Chains A and B, each alone.
Chain A
Amino acid sequence: MNPPLFNPVAAPDAHATEYLRVSSLHAFYGESHVLHGMDFSVRRGECVALLGRNGSGRTTTLRAIMGLTGKRTGSIMINGREAVDLPPHKIAQLGVGYCPEERGIYAGLSCEENLLLPPLVGSSGMGIDELYAMFPNLAERRHSPGTRMSGGEQQMLAMARILRTGARLLLLDEISEGLAPVIVQRLAEVIATLKARGFTILLVEQNFRFAAPLADRLFVVEHGQVVAEIAQHELQEKRAFLQEALGV
């Protein structure tokens, strides 16, 4: 396989399977220090969830990876490239797709314009027809203005939008939040499909029941740090701890 020019593959070593490695990451919004040394990694093709209470720094972690916070220190390796000093558009071009918590659907663009907006950042993006097959509602609403769509449709659009670009690392922030159970179920199926297709996925979730069956590993975040790592097979035995940590 020929590696894309802008994305030279790192020398094969112990970390070769790591698609994302975040090390001692500190991030700030102005004067306020939000992340206090985040450390975790996501392997190629893995689905990892960041769990934690509101304000623990999960959303900020995704924003910091994308370069959307203020000052950042530490290291963010994406597919073997250091990203902590890059501006957001260069980070996206490393093959990262970001779905923000507020979904970020542009009110001034139609559904299809929203879908077609992000430029390609990789060669393996899904085609429009494939995306409309995956999210049939979007095909029906293709000419609707972005903000006339329901919350579920907007979430589907925010997902579809980054799948078209060829991004291989997906950062998904609270995608199940505030949606009807049937739509959450549909999104879970989509995530499972994407995992099977080899996407590397980092989920930020409040909804433990949504994340638990999907994630290979779960990290518990508190006060801007990872305080626990739980593998899928440890979920049963650590249930009590998780309930305590997440307050669910």
Chain B
Amino acid sequence: MNEIFGVPLPALLGQLTLGLVNGSFYAMLSLGLAVIFGMLHIINFSHGACYMMGAMFTWMALEYLGLGYWWALLLVPLGVAVVGIVLERLLLRRLYRFDYLYALLLTFGLALMIEGGFRQVFGVAGQPYAIPEALGGAFDLGFMMLPRYRAWVIAVSLTVCLFTWFVIEKTRLGAYLRAATENPRLTQAFGINVPLMVMLTYGFGVGLAGLAGVLAAPTAQVGPLMGSNLIIVVFAVVVIGGMGSILGSVLTGLGLGVVEGLTKVFYPEASAVVVFVIMAVVLWFRPAGLFGKEA
């Protein structure tokens, strides 16, 4: 019998991989938010806009410059990071002395402005972006067909998340980052250029969002609204995982993607709200999130 609880196995596995793909995006985006929150103590509401910019830049690179997917994969995250760094230097940096709410409002405003700018120029309709040739088609695993592009997204996301975790937890640079997160003033008094690290951390965090945008371009309609649709779920992921926890945000992102995918199979009506139901339950029992440290 190729059925589980009355659901055909291929459909189940299909939703499972789709859930993992969505989870990969959640993981990369919430990882960027967690890294930024850990170092800057700000909640970056412009993260969805950075993700959208990543996808839009990818589409624009092909449309206007003739640069294909692989160039975009390399250049677009850097481009988004540069935009982030400029915003950090010009605007965010002035707000660190104040309550974090000011930075939250600023990034929220920036998100609206960035989205509004793209809407003004490109309208709200989504643009198609073709899957690159090398990643077209599917692997025949015998028991199911696995589209190559989905496997690619999951693999890239896992690699990037693992790499980030490794750098932060196991390297000297990571020790500087953790030290600066815990006690920025003292860390700077040891001779480490903390303001530079803060700037680069922000660039890296939004660069991750940009990378997620590149990966998303062939899977979704590329349009100015794609960020705001996703970011609310991503914030729920961050809340469930626990603010500032690196591993927590990655595992929670992947896990919730899968839960969402499975909900689509077993009870499609709930698939849009399941993440928020989980968030409410988690907050009830563990206000600091699954991986967060209780204050």
Contact = CB atoms under 8 A, between A and B. Distances in A.
Given A109-B175, A117-B176, A89 B186 contact: no
B176 A68 contact: no
Contact of A89 (B178, B181, B188): B188
Interface residues of B, number: 19
B179 A89 contact: no
Contact of B182 (A89, A108, A121): A108
Contacts of B192: 89, 118-119
Contacts of B194: 89
B5 interface: no
Interface in B170-190: 172, 175-176, 178-179, 181-183, 185-190
Nearest to A65: B189
A207 B186 CA distance: 24
B22 to A, nearest CB: 31
Contacts of A93: 191
A117 B189 contact: no
A151 interface: no
Contacts of A100: 186, 189
Q: How large is the interface on A (under 10, 10 to 19, 20 to 34, 35 or more residues)?
A: 20 to 34
B186 to A, nearest CB: 4
Interface in A117-132: 117-119, 121
Contact of A113 (B175, B183, B188, B195): B175
A117 B175 contact: yes
B178 A106 contact: yes
A78 to B, nearest CB: 13
Contacts of A118: 190-192
20 contacts: A66-B189, A68-B189, A87-B195, A88-B189, A89-B189, A92-B189, A92-B190, A93-B191, A104-B186, A106-B183, A108-B182, A109-B175, A113-B175, A116-B172, A116-B175, A117-B179, A118-B191, A119-B190, A119-B191, A121-B191
Interface of A: 66-68, 87-89, 91-93, 98, 100, 104, 106-109, 113, 116-119, 121, 162, 165
Given A100-B186, A118-B191, 12 more contacts: A68-B189, A87-B195, A89-B192, A91-B189, A106-B178, A108-B178, A109-B179, A116-B172, A117-B179, A118-B192, A162-B190, A165-B191
